[in-house]
Structure 1
């Protein structure tokens, strides 16, 4: 490790790695992390989970192992909604909330 340079993170590992559009990539990663947590808490098996969120088991497995680069934020929100999750979005400008919080509501079961 001699000679290696250690740098402090920017707070976004995807930016630190020089990936294109790191803010969106971080958002997708965080949504996948939430999706994984909900799936683990729900007790759904792979077949039921994949059927409920509308994707094949192998695709779901790939997604949860980090293969989400091409997955849209909208699709991830839809998956969370199908699992019964509400997602709140707030918009801030210069630290101040602009308008009301937007709720992406769960799909009724």
Structure 2
């Protein structure tokens, strides 16, 4: 095992931004919504097929969400899925002005690959 000094870098609070994703804020919201969908499925003990029967949404979509394959989903589609599962989404927006966060902050420091 290599011994060496590790540098600890404080992240922005959004892993997608830290990794240089172009739409980092939207990706983070999608991940949060997907996690809530998974919680609802688990809470109700629903398989992807039973979720399809209950909501009319394709089982393949629930599989994609469970596997964090969210590229095909829009924010409103994910919110609609949550609604069909019987939950409501409350959105609070807070816009903060602050220090400019460089795209790919960690990548630029050579800590991850861009």
**Under a length normalisation based on structure 1, what TM-score does the superposition of the two structures give?**
0.73
Q: Which moved more, 1:63-72 or 1:42-51?
A: 42-51
State yes or no: 1:33 paired with 2:35. yes
Deviation at 1:79, TM superposition (A): 0.3
Mapped to 2, the partners of 1:92 and 1:40 lie a distance apart of 30
Asked if 2 retains the 8 angstrom alpha-carbon contact of 1:32 and 1:76, the reply is: yes
Q: Note the C-alpha offset of 1:36.
A: 0.3
Q: CA RMSD in A?
A: 2.1
1 or 2, which has the higher strand percentage?
1
Partner of 2:106: none
The alignment covers a number of residue pairs equal to 94
Match of 1:6 in 2: 8
- In structure 1, how many angstroms separate the alpha carbons of the residues matched to 2:20 and 2:94? 26
CA distance in 2, matches of 1:67, 1:86: 22
Give how far 1:43 is off: 1.5
Preserved contact between residue 54 and residue 79 of structure 1 (Cα < 8 Å): no
**TM-score calculated relative to the size of structure 2:** 0.70
Matched residue SS, 2:90:
strand
Partner of 1:72: 74
Structure 1: runs of 5 or more not aligned: 95-109
**How far apart in 2 are the matches of 1:63 and 1:27?**
13
Runs of 4+ in 1 over 6 A off after TM superposition: none
TM-superposed CA distance for 1:86, in Å, is: 1.2
> Counterparts of 2:7 and 2:72 in 1: how far apart (Å)?
31
Q: CA deviation at 1:52?
A: 3.0
Shift of the alpha carbon at 1:55? 3.5
- Note the residue ranges of structure 2 that are not aligned, 5 or more in a row: 97-114
